[in-house]
């Protein structure tokens, strides 16, 4: 009778090589803004959790995304570092937004006579990490904190001189039950 014993790490993991390389590059050369947004959190015993918000995850399963993140860390930081990752999650911007993780948003509030066009605003937003998954002609620039949003607003002002009055930071109000429980 054949006796097969499968260990935890022995099952083949689907890896999208290209995405892992791209993410590894981002990890090596961290930028001030834009996608992917990578957040690491320290856990007990030297372990860490990694969360990567990136529209490139679209069409990949959660399981594949986790595999890509682990592979990217192995490429960028080495096997030992990768072994410290206890939890790895990949979400697109719309998914992170739906989960309530990106309550702040920068929107272009254009008026007649402003020095910039809507098209210029959209291009600048996309450069700063706006998601086009909500609709190709409706990029959305979303953030976890007001500080993050404010930092990008300053960068948008630099990128588009004369847009001082254009950029508005808004915050989702949350659900009624959230307020009741506060």
Partner 1 sequence: MPRRLLNRCNQDSIREYRAAARQRFDDALAMATAGAPRRTGAIYLWGYSIEMVLKAAYFSLIGLPETRVIGWGTDLRPAIHRGRAMGIAWPSQGEGHNVRAWAELLVRERALLPATIFPAPFGLEVQRQGQRVEQLWRETLRYRKNYAYLYEMRQMHEAAQWFLGNAHAL
Q: How far is the CB of 113 from partner 1 (least distance, A)?
A: 41
Q: How far is the CB of 86 from partner 1 (least distance, A)?
A: 5
Element spanning 110, H or E: none
Q: Which CB sits closer to partner 1, 72 or 156? A: 72
CA count, 13 A, side-chain hemisphere, 37: 22
Q: Which CB sits closer to partner 1, 84 or 120? A: 84
Contact 77, 28 (CB under 8 A): no
Q: Which CB sits closer to partner 1, 100 or 162? A: 100
Q: At what angle do helices 118-127 and 146-159 cross, to 10 degrees?
A: 120
Q: Which CB sits closer to partner 1, 42 or 136? A: 42
Opening angle at CA 69, ends 145 and 41, nearest 5:
40
Q: How far is the CB of 121 from partner 1 (least distance, A)?
A: 28
The binding track of 32-51 with respect to partner 1, each residue x by CB under 8 A or -, is -------x-x-xxx-x-x-x
Contact 156, 106 (CB under 8 A): yes
Reference 130, options 140, 119, 117; nearest CA is 140
Q: Which CB sits closer to partner 1, 1 or 8? A: 8
Q: Is 176 in the site for partner 1 (CB under 8 A)?
A: no
Six-digit token pair at 23? Answer: 């993410």
Q: What is the DSSP string of 91-134?
A: E-HHHHHHTTS--EEEEE---TT-SS-HHHHHHHHHHTT-B-TT
Q: Which CB sits closer to partner 1, 98 or 109? A: 98
The binding track of 89-108 with respect to partner 1, each residue x by CB under 8 A or -, is x-x---xx-xxxx-------
Contact 111, 168 (CB under 8 A): no
Q: Which stretch binds partner 1 (CB under 8 A): 19-27, 83-91, 106-114, 164-172?
A: 83-91
Sheet containing strand 167-171, edge to edge, reads 141-143, 104-108, 167-171
Q: Is 181 in the site for partner 1 (CB under 8 A)?
A: yes
Site residues (CB under 8 A) for partner 1?
A: 8-9, 39, 41, 43-45, 47, 49, 51, 61-63, 66, 70, 83-89, 91, 95-96, 98-101, 175, 181
């Amino acid at each position: 009778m054949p006796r097969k014993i499968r260990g935890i790490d022995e099952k083949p993991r689907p890896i999208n090589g290209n995405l892992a390389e791209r993410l590894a590059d981002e990890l090596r050369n961290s930028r001030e803004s834009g996608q992917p947004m990578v957040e690491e959190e320290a856990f007990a015993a030297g372990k860490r959790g990694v969360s990567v918000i990136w529209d490139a995850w679209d069409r990949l399963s959660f399981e594949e995304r986790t595999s890509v993140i682990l592979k990217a860390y192995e490429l960028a930081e080495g096997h030992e570092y990768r072994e410290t990752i206890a939890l790895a999650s990949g979400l697109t911007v719309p998914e992170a937004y739906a989960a309530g993780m990106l309550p702040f948003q920068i929107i272009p509030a254009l008026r007649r006579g402003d020095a910039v066009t809507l098209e210029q605003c959209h291009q600048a937003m996309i450069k700063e990490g706006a998601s086009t998954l909500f609709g190709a002609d409706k990029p959305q620039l979303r953030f976890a904190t007001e500080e993050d949003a404010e930092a990008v607003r300053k960068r948008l002002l630099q990128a588009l001189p004369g847009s001082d009055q254009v950029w508005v930071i808004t915050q989702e109000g949350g659900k009624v039950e959230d307020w009741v429980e506060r």
